[in-house]
Amino acid sequence: MQMHYHIHMNEDDLQSSLTDRYQTTVPARIRKALGLGKRDKLEWILDESGGVQIRKVALEHEDPILDSWLDFLADDIEKHPERLIPLDAKWYEDMVTRLSGEPGKGVSGFPPTLEEFLAQPDLHNED
C-alpha cells in the first residue's frame, strides 16, 4: 500500500525513534492506514533509489483463540507485574521433566537444564 496522502498529515504524527535494540513504534496514523494490529508482520522493501516501503504481510493463517490468549497474558502482565515468578533452575527442570516424561531429558527447544537453555545462541539474536 503506497501512501500518497502524507502531505496532508502533521509531520510529528509520522515520526518515531529507535530504541537501543533497534525497535520502534509505528505511528498511529500509519497503523490505521495499513490496518495493523498487535503481532502483525511488516515487510520492508528497499527500492533502487534507496527509499523504503513498508507493507503489512498477509498471514498464512490466523488463530483468534491464541491471539486472544496472548492479548490476555500481555494485559495481565502489564497490570499485575507482581504476579510474575522468576525462572529458577529447579522450576525449569521440573517443567521440562513434565514435558518429556523423563528426568534429565529435554524436548524440542528445551534442553534438560536452564543453563543449557540460556546458552542457546538463538536466544541472543538481535536482528
Number of domains comprising the chain: 2
Q: Quick check: is 72 in a domain?
A: no
Asked if residue 93 is part of any domain, the answer here is yes
Residue with cell 527442570: 93
Asked if residue 41 has pLDDT above 50, the reply is yes
Domain that holds residue 93: 89-124
Task: Tell me the pLDDT of the chain averaged across its residues.
Answer: 85
69 inside domain: no
Q: Which of 32, 56, 80 is the last residue of a domain?
A: 56
Share of the chain above pLDDT 70, in %: 86
- Type of residue at 74: A
d(CA 124, CA 109): 14
Asked if pLDDT for residue 104 goes beyond 70, the answer is yes
CB 107 within 8 A of CB 100: yes
10 is a domain residue: yes
Domain final residue, candidates 56, 80, 97: 56
Q: Tell whether 61 is covered by a domain.
A: no
According to the model, what pLDDT value does residue 7 have?
A: 45
Asked whether residue 73 is domain-assigned, the answer is no
CB–CB of 103/97 below 8 Å? yes
Q: With respect to residue 70, please indicate whether it lies within any of the assigned structural domains.
A: no
CATH code, domain carrying 28? 2.10.260
- Residue 6 pLDDT exceeds 90: no
> Can you give the pLDDT at residue 82?
95
Q: Which three cell numbers, joined as nine digits, stand for 32?
A: 490505521
Report if residue 63 sits inside a domain.
no
| Sign of the alpha-carbon dihedral angle for 75, 22, 29, 41 | negative
pTM over 0.95: no
In a 3-state reduction of DSSP, which class is residue 107?
strand
Contacts 24+ apart (CB under 8 A), 31-39: 33/1, 33/3, 34/1, 38/67, 38/71, 38/74, 39/67, 39/70
Q: In the block, which residue shows the cell 504476579?
A: 83
Give the DSSP per-residue string, 24-39.
-PPPHHHHHHHT--TT
